[in-house]
Chain A
Amino acid sequence: MSSTSSSEVDPSGSAAQKCDIRVLCLGNDLLGDDSLGSMVAAHVRQFAPANVEVVSTPETGLHLLDYALNATRLIVVDTVVTGSAPPGTIYEFRDTDLNSLPGSSPHYVGLFEALAVARHLRLPAAEQVLILAVEARDCSTVGENMHPAVVAAIPVLIKMVRDRMSAGVGDIAPNKKEIAA
């Protein structure tokens, strides 16, 4: 991460580097299936070209604002627990596919709210945001092993990230897709 001195503060409020594509891997490597993000990040770093920044963070809420800025495209990798699909199911969608404003429960401010705030304040938010999320089983047990189906989704996800990095985001994921790993 780059950091500027306070006298050179970027009014955008971003602490992230400027880049073409940022692969933002969310999740906590201490919490079972939530390790997914950091594992994917470790692999993607090995082949990411110079114009791609790979970030892995367990941060939450508006702290994600920093990572939503100063990248033309954002590819987000995360877990999701909907309970309505088997563990390991991969979802692919754009932020615009959710057709939603920030939720009305202020305690649950997250990535989409951070993006909305950035755009509303006319900060340099990512123009295109693609989300690759994997259905998880347990993200609340410290030190727990990952579910085998979530582990099995990792190579699929890495390939998807590689493909999406080389393709234009505009060419893919016109609607929410569900892909069983």
Chain B
Amino acid sequence: MPEEKEQILHHTWQEGAAKANAGYTRRRITIDPITRLEGHGKIDIFLDEAGQVERAYFQVPELRGFEKFVQGRPAEEMPQITSRICGVCPTAHHMAATKALDSLYRVDPPPAAKKIRELVYNTFMAEDHALHFYFLGGPDFVVGPDAPPTERNVLGVIGKVGVETGKKVIAMRRRWRELIALVAGKAVHPVFGLPGGVAKRVTPDMQRQFQEVAAEGVEFAKFTLQLFEDVVLKNTDYVSLILADVYTHRTYYMGMVDDCNRVNFYDGPIRVVTPDGKEWKRFPPEQYLEHIAEHVEPWSYVKFCYLKQVGWNGFREGIDSGIYSVAPLARLNVSDGMTTPLAHEAYQKFFSTLGGKPVHYTLANHWARLVELLYATERMKELAVDPQLTDPAIRVLPTEKPREGIGVVEAPRGTLVHHYQTDENGLIQKANLIVATQNNSARMAMSVEKAAKGLISGADVPESVLNRVEMAFRAYDPCHGCATHSLPGSMPLLVRVRNQSGKTLALLRRDFDGSVHRE
């Protein structure tokens, strides 16, 4: 970001924050992570004079300085730079950047290269989705939202599913990661994607390893869906929670599809459906700027994406509001099915159980993620037996002068856009990234506000609010990963209730160990 723009934004932020504080000094609740500071996952909830929630603001962390940092660097470095910046989904950034280089040099990779890329990418998706279900989303549904806080963690999940299942998850994850490393090198330092192809071919021996692990992966995904059915769908309380109005929004949805409008993570047009489930647009990824715009609010650094041609009409649901959603639920909503048989069966069951398309229940993202897990493993199996996979022709050398390139993939958390402009030597002049969390930011803000409205009344802040409000955004799996390796690893929360003069009426604090204290 140019320095001047950054200063303006900073000034706007200060001004907006002061304005918001002045306007809402009546009563204020802050849910604030107190480990990593400066706006990381911060939630501010403001009460009106009657003590009811008037507005809630949610901010996700944002890295600063990226655009400036990459200016003047060779475009070929982007797959490495972007994958190093994100410690959570490096493979997604690496792939989007590689596709942007294809576009930049106007080069079409040979079939084997495309298949190798898609195979590696589906392996990554399977690993990420499995980890999310068991270790990140699991405490909400596997352990349960009302379980004691000290049990609502990864150990609670293992306690519920059993040590053997826990070991199975860890071992499966390792097999997937080894396959990725086999072809692409270390996840954080990939040496894989090149403009026009890939750096390494798949040998027959490597292909056999993919076939073996892919078959195990399908069984693992089936096992996980069955576990979801047994633990979640057979529990009426959990089902009621998924269907609850507090976690429901009627918005547009966006995702990548193939030629027949079926889910595809690696390549294809972008499809958008209305809140009624009708196709609104279907466009090539290169046209994203014609359809996606960014709205800025004075109280947040986060840019809120919306559909340009519908327009920004505030944080509202419905057909007249350009707010849309990405991520697993959105991908299923925009598609007409899955290309693989078992995943398609799971897709049909998903919609028949939840009342048809589109599904607006945010918490259904967890189930949709597992449908996609099954698809990713089946797709791996298909690609692993493809005879073209071992073709030694894995690259077409670029010959065109670079100018502008756009690469889009579906990251685990939703549509990811990389857009570069270069000089004729391929040095970056401008780079724009739209990450999944940004696509979802407006709907996430609505989710947090709706959850807060349903749960908070005056200074009476029940302990469950900490988790229930978090659940509202956790289903989207917003990416806070850029800063979370630092110690300590967990996120304590602080809820503060203030009166008109700013005096604290109540303080609710959740510590590292999950214990909640009132002061």
Q: Does A49 contact B (CB under 8 A)?
A: no
User: Which of B152, B153, B178 is in CB contact (< 8 Å) with A15?
Assistant: B178
Q: Does B506 contact A (CB under 8 A)?
A: no
CA distance A113 to B155 in the complex (A): 8
User: Which of A13, A79, A80, A139 is in CB contact (< 8 Å) with B170?
Assistant: A13
CA distance A82 to B152 in the complex (A): 24
Per-residue CB contact flags for chain A residues 61-102 toward chain B (1 = under 8 Å, else 0) read 111111000000000101111110000000000000011111
Q: Does A111 contact B (CB under 8 A)?
A: yes
Inter-chain contacts of B212 with A (CB < 8 A): 6-7
Q: Does B460 contact A (CB under 8 A)?
A: no
Q: Does A133 contact B (CB under 8 A)?
A: yes
Inter-chain contacts of B518 with A (CB < 8 A): none
Q: Is the CB of A26 within 8 A of B174?
A: no
CA distance A6 to B153 in the complex (A): 30
Q: Is the CB of A101 within 8 A of B85?
A: no
Q: Does A9 contact B (CB under 8 A)?
A: yes
Contacts A104-B139, A140-B63; is A6 near B167 (CB within 8 Å)?
no
| Nearest CB on A from B66, distance (A) | 5
CA distance A78 to B36 in the complex (A): 14
Q: How many A-B residue pairs have CB under 8 A?
A: 231
CA distance A141 to B131 in the complex (A): 28
Q: Is the CB of A106 within 8 A of B138?
A: yes
Q: Which of A114-122, A155-163, A164-172 contacts B (4 or more CB under 8 A)?
A: A114-122
Inter-chain contacts of A46 with B (CB < 8 A): none
Q: Does B514 contact A (CB under 8 A)?
A: yes
Q: Residue of A at shortest CB range from B136?
A: A106
Per-residue CB contact flags for chain B residues 481-500 toward chain A (1 = under 8 Å, else 0) read 11111111111110000000
| Nearest CB on A from B192, distance (A) | 15
Contacts A13-B170, A62-B131; is A110 near B178 (CB within 8 Å)?
no
Q: Does B357 contact A (CB under 8 A)?
A: no
CA distance A64 to B174 in the complex (A): 12
Q: Is the CB of B155 within 8 A of A141?
A: no
Q: Does B114 contact A (CB under 8 A)?
A: no
User: Which of B179, B477, B478, B485 is in CB contact (< 8 Å) with A64?
Assistant: B485
Q: Is the CB of B174 within 8 A of A58?
A: no
Inter-chain contacts of A143 with B (CB < 8 A): 65, 68-69
Q: Does A128 contact B (CB under 8 A)?
A: no
Q: Does A148 contact B (CB under 8 A)?
A: no
| Nearest CB on B from A117, distance (A) | 5
CA distance A122 to B166 in the complex (A): 10
User: Which of A10, A31, A34, A110 is in CB contact (< 8 Å) with B489?
Assistant: A110
Contacts A81-B486, A106-B139, A144-B65; is A98 near B512 (CB within 8 Å)?
yes
CA distance A57 to B175 in the complex (A): 20
User: Which of B68, B170, B173, B489 is in CB contact (< 8 Å) with A108?
Assistant: B489
User: Which of A65, A107, A139 is in CB contact (< 8 Å) with B474?
Assistant: A107
Inter-chain contacts of A112 with B (CB < 8 A): 488-490
Inter-chain contacts of A62 with B (CB < 8 A): 131, 135, 154, 173
Inter-chain contacts of A15 with B (CB < 8 A): 174, 177-178, 181
| Nearest CB on B from A123, distance (A) | 7
Q: Does B150 contact A (CB under 8 A)?
A: yes
Q: Does B186 contact A (CB under 8 A)?
A: yes
Q: Does B198 contact A (CB under 8 A)?
A: no
Q: Does B305 contact A (CB under 8 A)?
A: no
Q: Does A142 contact B (CB under 8 A)?
A: yes
Q: Is the CB of B188 within 8 A of A57?
A: yes
Q: Is the CB of A103 within 8 A of B490?
A: yes
CA distance A5 to B477 in the complex (A): 32
Inter-chain contacts of A104 with B (CB < 8 A): 139, 149-150, 152-153, 467, 490, 510, 513-514
Q: Is the CB of A78 within 8 A of B181?
A: no
Q: Is the CB of B485 within 8 A of A59?
A: yes
Per-residue CB contact flags for chain B residues 148-187 toward chain A (1 = under 8 Å, else 0) read 0110111100100001001100110111011101100011
Closest 5 CB pairs of A and B: A110-B489, A103-B490, A104-B514, A143-B69, A108-B491
- List 16 extra interface pairs beyond A106-B135, A140-B38, CB under 8 A: A28-B87, A31-B63, A59-B485, A60-B481, A66-B174, A104-B514, A105-B493, A105-B510, A106-B136, A106-B137, A107-B470, A110-B485, A117-B166, A120-B158, A121-B163, A141-B64
Which A residues lie at the B interface, using CB under 8 A?
Answer: 1, 3-7, 9-11, 13-15, 26-31, 34, 57-66, 76, 78-83, 98-113, 116-117, 120-123, 131, 133, 136, 139-144
